[in-house]
Amino acid sequence: MTKVSVTVNGTKYDLSDVEPRLLLSDFLRDTLGLTGTHVGCEHGVCGACTVLMNGDSVRSCLMLAVQTNGAEITTVEGLGTPEALNVLQAQFREHHGLQCGFCTPGMLMTGEDLLRKYPLATDDEIREGLSGNLCRCTGYQNIVAAIRSAAAMRAEKMP
C-alpha cells in the first residue's frame, strides 16, 4: 500500500493506503465516487476515460493512481455544473454534440486540451485532434461543430 496526496477538481485528498495496481480511472470512479469519467476499452484506444493532469490530457486507464501523487487532476465534474456549463460544454449542447453521452466526458477533456494547445483553424485539424476518441453515435459531425464553435469564441476573445 502506498500513500497518495492528490488534488482532484480543487479538493485535496490524502490517502494512506492506495494499492499500486489501482488504475487512475478506477481510483476516480470507485475510491472518490467521481463517475463522470467513463471507462471504455481500458487499454488506451477509446479515449472515454481522458482527464487532465496538471492541465494536460491523459488516459486515466493508462495511469496508476499512485503516479498522481502531488498532481492536480481535473475530471468532467470540474468543468462546469448543470446550471453553469463551461464554454465547451455549452457548445456541445448547442450543436447537439452528444447522443448517448458515453464518450462525452473524454471528448470534453480532450477538447479542453486541444483548445489550449492548437489553433484548430480547420476541421482537419480538429478531426486530427479528436482521432484518439471514439464515438459510436454521432458520426462526429456535431462534435467537430461544437469544438469549431468553441475555438471561434476563443479566437474572438483574444486581442
Smallest gap, in angstroms, from Cβ of residue 84 to other proteins?
26
Looking only at residues 6 through 35 of this chain, which bind other proteins when binding is defined by CB under 8 A? 19-21, 23, 26
Bridge partner residues of 159 (DSSP):
none
User: Using CB under 8 A, which of 128, 136, 141, 152 touches other proteins?
Assistant: 128
User: Using CB under 8 A, which of 8, 28, 58, 88 touches other proteins?
Assistant: 58
Q: In this structure, what DSSP letter does residue 64 have? A: B
| Residues contacting 44, CB < 8 A, separation 6+ | 59, 61, 62
Q: What is the CA radius of gyration of the chain?
A: 16
Residue 153's Cβ-count burial label (10 Å; 0-12, 13-18, 19+) is: middle
Q: Which helix (H) or strand (E) holds 52?
A: strand 50-53
Q: Which helix (H) or strand (E) holds 123?
A: helix 123-129
User: Using CB under 8 A, which of 32, 48, 64, 107 touches other proteins?
Assistant: 64
User: Using CB under 8 A, which of 3, 30, 44, 122 touches other proteins?
Assistant: 44
Cell for 151? 475555438
- 78 touches other proteins (CB under 8 A): no
- 47 touches other proteins (CB under 8 A): yes
| Per rule CB under 8 A, count of chain residues that contact other proteins | 32
User: Using CB under 8 A, which of 74, 75, 110, 142 touches other proteins?
Assistant: 110
| Residues at the interface with other proteins (CB under 8 A) | 2, 19-21, 23, 26, 42-44, 47, 50, 53, 56-59, 61-64, 66-67, 110, 113-114, 117, 127-129, 131-133
